[in-house]
Copies of this chain bind each other. A is one copy, B any other.
Amino acid sequence: MVNFDFCTPTRLVFGKGVIEKLPSIMEPLGKKILLVYGGGSIKKNGLYDKVRELLKDFEIFELSGVEPNPKYESVVNGAEICRKNGVEAVLAVGGGSVLDCSKSIAAGAKYDGEPWDLITYKVPVKSALPIVDIMTLSATGSEYDANSVISRMDLNIKTCLKSEHIFPTCSILDPTYTFTVSKRQTAAGAADAISHVFEKYFTAPSSDLADGMCEAVIKSIMKNVVIALEKPDDYDARAELMVDCALACNNVIALGNGASGWVAHAIEHTLSAYYDITHGEGLAIITPHWMRKILSEKTVDRFVKYGVNVLGIDPAQDKFSIANKAIDMTYSFFESLGIPMTLGAVGIDDKKIDEMAFDTAGDGKLANCYAPLTVEDVKEILTNAL
């Protein structure tokens, strides 16, 4: 085990009907709230009205229309509303994009300059408004981490602000709000969360404990996403996915593991920065090709462990056979969820592969990872994924 310094102060309030606690959760944080949401699905399903009704004694400001792969412009707008009106807390209602945007808004609201300074670490985040979220999608795990992924399409940058100040104060997780999530988004969310666990699992050193916990999360996701796709209002399956996804991006499941470099995410962030694709789909497409590329004498035992413990592959085989079978099964699993499994299928051709590979791995950016990749390696992965 490597040394670690771990704390997740976020309160998780989980279950059917827990939204009734919203007023008591917001009360100690302040009376002036910025309500952040996305394209309006919460208006259709009644959640918006419910929130406004519960918070009728609060002064609510609104930022709507937050996009998937949330854009920097929304952060700027939100931070300005907060500063101008003395907003005291941010309430995100939606998926990971809405919450990620809200986190950067919360930090930007307490900073006088451009929020981009914070997002790019030019200026350290020193404080942020308290953040509460009501999740309507199981995917990114933003509800239980300190990350805020923000995109600037003008610069082809999708980058991640990490700061202890942007842990949500409280995440409200009601599985029934995810019943209406489309099959496509349900599958992409599961792929995103599985990838979060892979980024912790394919590394060294790793512990018996972390391996077991990571395997437990992946197995629960793989089992329950299939049920949720078949029966979107299966409470238990949606509940498992909701807790799985919250934990998948939190380090509690991999305490003491070495850093991997989060390489699949690095590649996908470039894809999204150029083409604005669905994050989880990008990850599902890239993952098997990334796995194939990093499979080596050094990494093979990790693939064997994954293959045997998670996928149930018979251990009485040559280890590279098990590893390759595990990679094949990972591909087939994502495909079975209905995820488009080529870059072509999500509208990406070979035109920008050189630029994207350089943006991802140029200047030795992925040279110090558990399984390092060069620009050429990334090009190969992207080409194989076409």
Contacts and interface: CB of A to CB of B under 8 A. Distances in A.
A14 interface: yes
B10 A3 contact: no
Copies of this protein in the assembly total 2
Contact of A243 (B10, B215, B236, B255): B255
Interface in A214-253: 215-217, 219-220, 223-224, 236, 239-240, 243-244, 247, 252-253
A126 interface: no
A216 to B, nearest CB: 3
Nearest to A17: B3
A219 B365 CA distance: 37
Contacts of A11: 5-7
Interface residues of A, number: 43
B18 A12 contact: no
Interface stretch (A94-102, A183-191, A205-213, A265-273): A205-213
Given A216-B209, A217-B212, A256-B239, A14 B18 contact: no
21 contacts: A1-B175, A1-B240, A1-B243, A3-B14, A4-B13, A5-B14, A5-B18, A6-B12, A8-B8, A9-B9, A14-B255, A207-B220, A207-B240, A207-B243, A208-B223, A211-B216, A212-B217, A215-B216, A216-B216, A239-B256, A247-B255
Given A2-B15, A212-B215, 12 more contacts: A1-B15, A1-B175, A1-B240, A3-B17, A4-B13, A5-B12, A7-B12, A208-B219, A208-B240, A209-B240, A213-B216, A252-B252
Interface of A: 1-18, 21, 175, 207-209, 211-213, 215-217, 219-220, 223-224, 236, 239-240, 243-244, 247, 252-253, 255-256
